[in-house]
Structure 1
């Protein structure tokens, strides 16, 4: 399993994207390495997906002005309602707030679901590589190097294919990713789990993470927030 951005090669890559900062910067980075980049979004019925897909399409349109090798977005579907039930991620109720910790926003098994479906899509279309964008601070069990290595092996064996799952940003922090993408339209990426009128709410746990990362990166945050907390609240 390739772990560093510099080692990526080949002709085509599929980027599993959420429309957030990390996967957005990854798409742009891999567009300089690969002949073709296929962004894939898996729609699961989550509360924020309508806004997320709106901003993702805008971001990709902007990227394609300079990177014509980025293919049109492919959207797959995987309904999580039978699994998650009345979970906050589906209902939009009691969403983890600004001061919540990482594990309050964790969606159990989501990476397994997203990668499994994307892997079948890739194998059937002859795309040998999936790239995804977990960062160094990812604390979840389905975000570790061991997880991605084992899943790569299982998916390859299960489909009798040589499939590579790559995590080029796993040594980077979110502020480092923001600095890497400082020339990109990062205001068109989307991180919110409680959007209001397609805007970042400015009050949920993911908005807090985003605002703090821009502050620590020393990069101006051009994101439009419905409610913008005081900057000093994010320090430390």
Structure 2
């Protein structure tokens, strides 16, 4: 059934694929991005450019005022970004406290405002090892809560919750998507570092599909 959906769109490759999946399925899409003080704010520039090119409604909500209750993460600059794979224990420093619950709550309010039936977000199987708020049990409980939190029920959907990044990329490639319009690196520099967990997983996804990542990297890591 075709619906109006709010897609939480970070500007990264997973939410980029998710956005196009919603459009390909014929849904009316409202894209919603958040500035929470992330180092990799460059991803928001990618999100704006993509939404402008698609001609879809896009809102960037500044929630940096919440930094005092979302502190202590490498993603917001309090500590150094660790290098390595997501399954390594050091990657726990990239957890932003309660981020997805906060973002999904705000997105649900926006969904009620624009009369959307669902909020989509890009949590996937590769996130499960490190991020509690990207696991199936979290998504299922948020879905149950958001269906009863307002007079208008809003579903929470994570279509890639059991897929890995390589599978998500394969779906996007089948749609003909250009991933040079995305940003993944946790470091907010001109080129992707190729060493943070996000870069490592992205590079693995391209390798599993037999391709080179179109983004420029600081080192020859592809």
TM range (shorter): 0.7 to 0.9
- Please name the residue that 1:157 is paired with: 148
CA contact (8 A) 1:47 1:92 kept: no
- Please name the residue that 1:78 is paired with: 63
Which of 36, 43, 49 aligns to 2:35? It is 43
- Please name the residue that 2:98 is paired with: 109
Shift of 1:189: 0.8
RCO (CA 8 Å, sep 6+): is it higher in 1 or 2? 1
- Please name the residue that 2:50 is paired with: 59
- Please name the residue that 1:144 is paired with: 135
- Please name the residue that 2:108 is paired with: 119
The runs of 5 or more residues in structure 1 that have no matched partner are: 1-8, 232-236
Shift of 1:108: 2.6
CA contact (8 A) 2:71 2:78 kept: no
Shift of 1:88: 2.6
My pick for the range that moved more, 187-196 or 83-92, is 83-92
- Please name the residue that 1:134 is paired with: 123
After TM superposition, the score normalised by the length of structure 2 is: 0.87
Cα 1:57–1:228 change in 2 (3 A) is farther
- Please name the residue that 1:6 is paired with: none
Q: Aligned pair count?
A: 214
After TM superposition, the score normalised by the length of structure 1 is: 0.82
Is 1:88 the counterpart of 2:74? The answer is yes
Computed over aligned residues only, the root mean square deviation of the Cα atoms, in angstroms, reads: 2.0
The runs of 5 or more residues in structure 2 that have no matched partner are: none
Shift of 1:106: 2.3
Which of 173, 179, 185 aligns to 1:186? It is 179
